[in-house]
Amino acid sequence: MVTLITPTTGHQRLKAAIRSVQQQSHSDFRHIVVIDGEPRRAAAEAIMAETNFQGQVMVLPEITGAGGFNGHLIYLTVPYLVKSEFVALLDEDNTLEPDHLSQLHALCERHRLDWAYSLRNVFVEGGESMRDDCQSLGLWPVYAGCYHHIDTSCYFVRREILKKATDVWDRPFQEGVRCPDQTFCGWLMHHYPRGFTSGEYSMNYSLGSEETLAMVGNHDRMDFFRRGNAIQAQIYRYFPWRYTEPADDIPYGNMGITCRDPELRLKMRAVLQAASAGARPSTAPIDS
């Protein structure tokens, strides 16, 4: 059994998230929507009625997502309230491809993994979309900064492990501090290294609408991925997160190809220095 958790504020994007879950090919799962505070109940329930939502609903008495916490406290507590073997997470503004849960569940069962994650597509609502080959890569480091990151909605984790990450999720977004999903990624890699990626871009991450991005003066969010993907094509011979398979006896995940690899770290540094000096990133791969 898999429990999929979605915190909601009653945003209209919840409708697309629920419908993407309703299309999942995996049969043994339940979807729990957690309404973050009684004041948001009416809006969330109206959206769920439109989608003929057949999952389970929790309503929190108070809003917990203020002050930079978003849905973190919900992701922290709900695993204690269910008894499924696995837990998956889905923010209300994202969607899943139909095989998302089945692919991740099969990967964990086939290789006896403690956790797994999908890759993601990024998109601007009503605009451009592309694969993310530079940020949410898990075992492979982010191109800018040499740290590890997995988007919250890409995670698929054994419940007993998720229950042990209380201190990781109990923190808000803060300027200059690793966000909870990045921190959780590092925590998993260190304490529970038996994890891997499906290699499938089965989660769709919304960067927001063109109107919203214009209002906050952030027109270039998609350009971050254009530039990053081009730089990654120089760092790696190919994008190994798409094709690499875990060994049956994974002793430590795939740590040999993370930023702990000194040759890769030097290559990343050289490419980033060239880019910062004004050299235009090439889309042609080079040997790793």
The CATH number linked to 12 is 3.90.550.10
CB atoms under 10 Å from CB of 237, counted, come to: 11
The verdict on residue 47 lying in a domain is yes
pLDDT at 127: 81
The verdict on residue 182 lying in a domain is yes
The verdict on residue 283 lying in a domain is no
CB atoms under 10 Å from CB of 159, counted, come to: 18
pLDDT at 125: 84
* Closest alpha carbon to 90 in 155, 13, 27: 155
Token reading at 159? 């419940």
* Closest alpha carbon to 232 in 121, 142, 119, 122: 142
64 within 8 A of 35, measured Cβ to Cβ: no
Token reading at 110? 């086939």
| Stated pTM of the model | 0.84
Whether pLDDT at 118 is above 70: yes
The verdict on residue 99 lying in a domain is yes
The verdict on residue 254 lying in a domain is yes
Q: Residue 253 — very low, low, confident or very high, per pLDDT cuts 50/70/90?
A: very low
Average pLDDT over residues 193-204: 93
Helix, strand, or coil here: 3? Answer: strand
The verdict on residue 282 lying in a domain is no
For the chain, give the percent of residues with pLDDT over 70. 79
Amino acid letter, residue 65: G
The verdict on residue 227 lying in a domain is yes
Domain of residue 252 covers 2-276
pLDDT at 259: 40
Whether pLDDT at 254 is above 70: no
Helix, strand, or coil here: 6? Answer: strand
